[in-house]
Amino acid sequence: MKTVILQDDIPLITETMKRQEGEGLYGYIDRKTGEVLIGCREAPLEIFPNEEDENYEELEVEFDLRYLSIPQEGSRDSYQDMVDFIETVADERLRDLLGVAIQGRGAFGRFKDVLRRSEYESERNRWFAFSEECESDRVVEWLIAEDFNVEVGF
């Protein structure tokens, strides 16, 4: 029987996946229970085998079988979400502004700055929903590929 991941855990997994490796936030999923474990430099997880233990290698194998590391992919997918969103914008002027905004460093900030303008409030709200759905879909696809069941709905 596959382990179930709760819908409520998707945002935690999403936040972890959006980080670059080495930014301090990291996470694991317990393959037996479905529990999502998030750690950081200031509050590290205490699930790792102790290297000083005489059967460390055996414990390390058990750890790898039980816990799945949440991959940290950075912003590449989020950038593609912006590109995909721009293609759905009906207003040609806004589409052009957003297209220019995502060029080069600082793309995320400029993109959001354009959408913060009061005349684009409905598109800003649509962007947030679009982005959240894309991120959630990616996490669910990854979890299914890793042989988990995802509890959807409430």
CA distances from 148 to 1, 10, 53, 135, 139 (A): 9, 12, 31, 17, 11
User: Do 45 and 96 belong together in one domain?
Assistant: no
Q: What is the pLDDT of residue 135?
A: 94
User: Average pLDDT for consecutive 10-residue bins of the chain (154 residues)?
Assistant: 90 89 86 95 91 92 96 88 97 97 96 95 97 94 94 66
Q: What is the pLDDT of residue 138?
A: 94
Q: What is the pTM of this model?
A: 0.84
Residue 121 lies in domain: 76-136
- The dihedral sign for the CA sequence 99, 101, 104, 105: negative
Q: What is the pLDDT of residue 112?
A: 96
Q: What is the pLDDT of residue 23?
A: 74
User: Do 90 and 55 belong together in one domain?
Assistant: no
With H, G, I as helix, E, B as strand and everything else as coil, classify residue 67: strand
User: Do 54 and 90 belong together in one domain?
Assistant: no
How far apart CA 2 and CA 151 sit, in angstroms, is 11
User: Do 68 and 98 belong together in one domain?
Assistant: no
Residue 137, class by beta-carbon neighbours within 10 Å (0-12 exposed, 13-18 middle, 19+ buried)? exposed
Specify whether the CB–CB gap between 42 and 30 falls below 8 A. Answer: no
